[in-house]
Structure 1
Amino acid sequence: MASLSFLAVFLVHICLFASFSSAEDPNIYHEFEVSYITASPLGVPQQVIAINGNFPGPTINVTTNNNVIVNVRNKLDENLLITWAGIQQRRSSWQDGVPGTNCPIPPKWNWTYNFQVKDQIGSFFYFPSLNLQRASGGFGGFIINNRAIIPIPFATPDGDITILIGDWYTRNHTALRKALDAGKDLGIPDGVLINGKGPYQYNNTLVPDGIDYATFEVKPGKTYRLRVHNVGVSTTLNFRIQNHNLLLAESEGSYTVQQNYTSLDIHVGQSFSFLVTMDQNASSDYYVVASARFVNETHWKKVTGVAILHYTNSKGKAAGPLPEAPNDEFDKTYSMNQARSIRWNVSASGARPNPQGSFRYGSINVTDVYVLKNKPPVVINGRRRTTLSGISFVNPSTPIRLADWKKLKGVYKLDFPTRPLTGAPRLETSVINGTFRGFIEIILQNNDTKMQSYHVDGYAFFVVGMDYGDWTENSRGTYNKWDGIARSTVQVYPGAWTAILISLDNVGVWNIRAENLDSWYLGQETYIRVVNPEATNKTELPAPDNALFCGALSKLQKPEDISSATSIIINESKLFFTLLMIICTLIPIFY
């Protein structure tokens, strides 16, 4: 009997440990099998990239401080990396999933991502980062919810809907890649998809029969949170819902001042949350529209995404013309003024109980200033390339972070210019030398005729200004130094500039890139290297046990799939804790 009592006490202690471990930082597990499937989103059979047989992939739904563990099995015929756009892997660029930081997952291999969504909330998405693969799919939503003790700055919605919009080609990513390699433009997309599906037949001439379209079912009188992501190739899309207002509430991890819009321009790579109240009558369904912006070719009329908002008591199909996009052909400031109107909600809590606005970015001294200027594509060494400040980035065969870890020299140069080069453009692996805990100002100058958007991995930055013309020192007088939105992807209008401020508190090697896939593929990117000069192991996590090796360090890589053991350990650990919690629930019954 004494031995049974001792066993009971022992099990109680173990259960307490398990409950504390589980409650503090829970693990969220996902298995991703990435493969090709055949789909016909625009009525033409084509090869798309699916996750677990589905296109688009599943939405990852977690809570602040959760540990996210995703085991990726690469069933493609080429290398693969998954990147988590806007997810700030605090202290660990090892999980970032871009070629300048990580070795790719070879075909038929699997590799396990393991990172914590620390001090974050909001709406994001993931996608494959190599070789234009996102143009064929492989993307999905990523939601980070507030912890229960942290209030959200609006009433709890009655539902949550993820909407993935993007321009789409019936040619797959390998065909698009060949076109770019041959010095050609991608041309006009074949359509716009909403959640991987083509347009509802709102027009018999423009939309053929048999197209499968997305339907979002809602209940009358309820308010839903719509998380809308532009996961496309290179086209800004205007998002709107027939007869419904869009109350903007959040963007890429920052709660916004809540404002109503009848439509909003969503640029490539950007994410927004809208609160939409179903306050219309149910005489019919309603159109959900995503249409191309900043284009003037008549053929673009075919490139419109249309889904259906279906009230549960609807009495008929959607009818009438599509709700109109902004008519600003002769007013190039309309969209920019709309973007300027998006402000940070400085009274709302983010992932922590202190107000977001307690971070007074406007009063911090800037330590470094970089002007990154892009121009139309140029020819370098006989190849068509894109540039930032006169440099077309070349990804090294050995990733930068891996080279640092193994003290490998000559992989890259810490000489990215603070101002655009005046000489001939060149191919380089040139990286920005960031100052740890510095405060960097980056001016993105778009000297191209196309809209561009830019993303920074590992950080949220403050969008403090944008205007047409060339940026000058005097432009700082127009900066918003109080409630500029903090986000990870920002647009830069043709012939205009955008200024951002970044607090470099996240050690690692982080990608700065054009989100337009063609510009990115042809070299419009760089990295910022942030190193703590102090001898400490607290500001960056060590390299993971399953780190992949490639390039000059290929000899360190084991021939077998080294992460299969990790996956087994994950599953066994998951099973162990499940069994343990079952035992814990049974203890009171027997004792």
Structure 2
Amino acid sequence: MHDSSLIYGLHILSPEYCATKYFLSLSSFFEDHFAILRYLDTERKDPYRYYTWTVTYGTRTVLDIPQTVILINGQFPGPNIECATNDNIIVNVINKLNEPFLITWNGIKQRRTTWQDGVLGTNCPIPPGSSWTYKFQTKDQIGTYNYFPSTAMHRAAGGFGGFNIASRSVISIPYPIPVAEFTLLISDWYKKGHQALKQNLDQGKALPVPDALLINGLSKVASFTGEKGKTYKFRISNVGISTSINFRIQGHTLTLVEVEGSHTMQEVYESLDVHVGQSVTVLVKLNSAVKNYFIVASSRFTKPILTTTALLRYAGSSTPPSLPLPIGPTYHVHWSMKQARTIRLNLTANAARPNPQGSFHYGTINVVKTFVFANTAGKINGKLRYAVNGISYVDPSTPLKLADWYNIPGVFSLNSMKTTPVNTPAVLGTSVVGTELHDFVEIVFQNNENTIQSWHLSGTSFYVAGYGDNVWNPSMRKRYNLLDAVSRHTVQVYPTAWTAIYVSLDNKGMWNLRSAIWPRRYLGQQLYVRVWNNERSLFTETDPPPNILFCGLAKRP
């Protein structure tokens, strides 16, 4: 498997010598192949975690009525994945639904392997009655993430769970180790099933405000117990389909320590906005009187405001929580934007840092491309569709990645969409923008609508450089945070406003840039970013996995 001359070289050169020569511009051939072997060696040494998940429909009482939900191994929500940096994750998904199904790993970077991303642009769906095994590594990552179904409107029925990556024991964390941690999956919820919601969207009807909010699949009875004087870590993810959520705990403050893999400055908050698709980690010290307290989640930017509660129980307490509930923000867009600007990267924290190493000096890197993506809502063929720069995305029957890898014509045209907003009516299409591996790119999300947006980029994280009102123009760069902006995978864009991000495209592949608000994504608010170079190398991208599925025009070679 290995080049014999390279193996010989590795025997006679010490690691210290190799590292020194690397930084002294050792030949690119040796650099690349040494990195390949180091990567393969890392995979052999790092732990493997194996999971077998059976996906079924089942009945659960949600909102006091029986509803059909998606279960994983009989659980709603699904089981959490608990792992550590660089662990290898093997998940065999058995699809016992009556329709194709995929799971995507929200924020897991899938280093060098688009093939495991679990969206229809990169994977054929798992047919009913069959299985498929995901294999990927949590390379250089820590933090709070989640997974969920990416097909149809399955996400509105369940199938989601937490994905928590702990730091390796040899890597210190920039805060005292809590005595325990809790995973909170907060979501909006409809009494209508996912099939009915899908039918509404297929008919061109927008979805109404959800019926309620849930915490860990429950509307009011979830509880978490701790001891007075101890500090606990709360991992919080918004796994809903459309609703920004404010989170708070009665009588306690929240110390933010991590956002989607980035250690943050440890600001203290009374409450935190968590937008669709986002995850945060907070520390909570139980320093109040021994009794029980309300944990509150309430909707943001909706009328009416939806509220649900859980309980924080002090060990030994028999005293129920008391009303009133702690007050949260109401509509207050500028309150939320001001809070977002306070979330900053902890530049003194140890690994894992954003990749590539050194990119945290993002404010000094030259931007090679600027994309401005504007979302719009309108009608195409008499039905509601959402678009980006005039193109409402439609999934082809052949995944884009397969078409690209196997040179299958007629599936997509590279750079078929404009990379700045257009004033023409939206049309249906398959949008792919082209970039080169290691491009450093500025992306501006322009929101001309009166609703909040949430955008996710698969395969990498990005620096949230700035938020602003009205229409972005180049002079807005003067407002950017070019020093300690947080690095994350999902970012909100406020009504009639813009958000700017910087991203180092160091992960080769075909990556989904999508609205995290699922009805909008389902009706076309997404595109793909092709990160490419003209060499085939395991250092930059793996070959298709042996168990790859084929569909559409793609046939097994």
Q: CA separation in 1, counterparts of 2:303 and 2:357?
A: 40
> Looking at CA atoms only, which structure, 1 or 2, has the larger radius of gyration?
1
Residue-by-residue CA offset, 1:381-428 (whole Å, 9 max, x unaligned): 232200011110111110011112211011111123121123221111
1:119-268 alignment, distance < 5 Å:
119-199=140-220, 213-268=221-276
Q: CA separation in 1, counterparts of 2:441 and 2:147?
A: 26
The 1:22–1:232 alpha-carbon spacing in structure 2 relative to 1, beyond 3 Å, is: closer
Q: Is the contact made by 2:356 and 2:506 (CA closer than 8 Å) also made in structure 1?
A: no
Q: Is the contact made by 2:245 and 2:273 (CA closer than 8 Å) also made in structure 1?
A: yes
Q: Is the contact made by 1:455 and 1:515 (CA closer than 8 Å) also made in structure 2?
A: yes
Q: Which amino acid aligns with 1:383?
A: K
Q: Is the contact made by 2:209 and 2:302 (CA closer than 8 Å) also made in structure 1?
A: no
Report what 1:112 is aligned to. 133
Q: Is the contact made by 1:346 and 1:356 (CA closer than 8 Å) also made in structure 2?
A: no
The 1:24–1:497 alpha-carbon spacing in structure 2 relative to 1, beyond 3 Å, is: same
Q: Which amino acid aligns with 1:421?
A: V
Deviation, 1:189, is: 1.1
Which moves more between the two structures, 56-65 or 350-359?
350-359
Q: CA separation in 2, counterparts of 1:231 and 1:350?
A: 27
Deviation, 1:356, is: 7.6
Alignment counterpart, residue 44 of structure 1, candidates 55, 65, 68:
65
Deviation, 1:538, is: 2.2
Q: Is the contact made by 1:398 and 1:411 (CA closer than 8 Å) also made in structure 2?
A: yes
Report what 2:96 is aligned to. 75
Residue-by-residue CA offset, 1:321-356 (whole Å, 9 max, x unaligned): 1111125x5x53111000000000011012269998
Q: Which amino acid aligns with 1:429?
A: T
1:509-588 alignment, distance < 5 Å:
509-553=510-554, 555-556=555-556
Report what 1:202 is aligned to. none
Question: What secondary structure does 2:339 align onto?
Answer: helix
- The answer on 1:389 being equivalent to 2:396 is no
Question: What secondary structure does 2:333 align onto?
Answer: coil
- The answer on 1:277 being equivalent to 2:292 is no
Report what 1:407 is aligned to. 407
Q: Which amino acid aligns with 1:113?
A: Y
The 1:174–1:511 alpha-carbon spacing in structure 2 relative to 1, beyond 3 Å, is: same
Report what 2:8 is aligned to. none
Q: Higher strand share goes to which structure?
A: 2
Report what 1:58 is aligned to. 79
Q: TM-score, normalised by structure 2?
A: 0.90
Deviation, 1:88, is: 0.3
Q: Is the contact made by 2:296 and 2:307 (CA closer than 8 Å) also made in structure 1?
A: yes
Q: Which amino acid aligns with 1:544?
A: P
Q: Which amino acid aligns with 1:410?
A: G
Q: CA separation in 2, counterparts of 1:468 and 1:417?
A: 23
Report what 1:480 is aligned to. 481
Residue-by-residue CA offset, 1:261-297 (whole Å, 9 max, x unaligned): 0001110000000000011111x31000100111233
- The answer on 1:27 being equivalent to 2:48 is yes
Q: CA separation in 1, counterparts of 2:84 and 2:257?
A: 18
The 1:436–1:358 alpha-carbon spacing in structure 2 relative to 1, beyond 3 Å, is: closer
Residue-by-residue CA offset, 1:557-581 (whole Å, 9 max, x unaligned): 9xxxxxxxxxxxxxxxxxxxxxxxx
Q: What is the alpha-carbon root mean square deviation over aligned residues? A: 1.7
The 1:84–1:259 alpha-carbon spacing in structure 2 relative to 1, beyond 3 Å, is: same
Q: Is the contact made by 2:333 and 2:494 (CA closer than 8 Å) also made in structure 1?
A: no
Deviation, 1:315, is: 2.6
Q: Is the contact made by 1:165 and 1:231 (CA closer than 8 Å) also made in structure 2?
A: yes
Q: Is the contact made by 1:150 and 1:353 (CA closer than 8 Å) also made in structure 2?
A: no
Report what 2:119 is aligned to. 98
Q: CA separation in 1, counterparts of 2:274 and 2:440?
A: 28
Question: What secondary structure does 1:338 align onto?
Answer: helix
Alignment counterpart, residue 290 of structure 1, candidates 279, 293, 297:
297
In the comparison of the two structures, how many residue pairs are matched? 516
Q: CA separation in 2, counterparts of 1:276 and 1:82?
A: 31
Residue-by-residue CA offset, 1:196-224 (whole Å, 9 max, x unaligned): 0012xxxxxxxxxxxxx101111111111
Q: Which amino acid aligns with 2:48?
A: N
Deviation, 1:359, is: 2.6
Report what 2:498 is aligned to. 497
Q: Is the contact made by 1:348 and 1:355 (CA closer than 8 Å) also made in structure 2?
A: no
Q: TM-score, normalised by structure 1?
A: 0.85
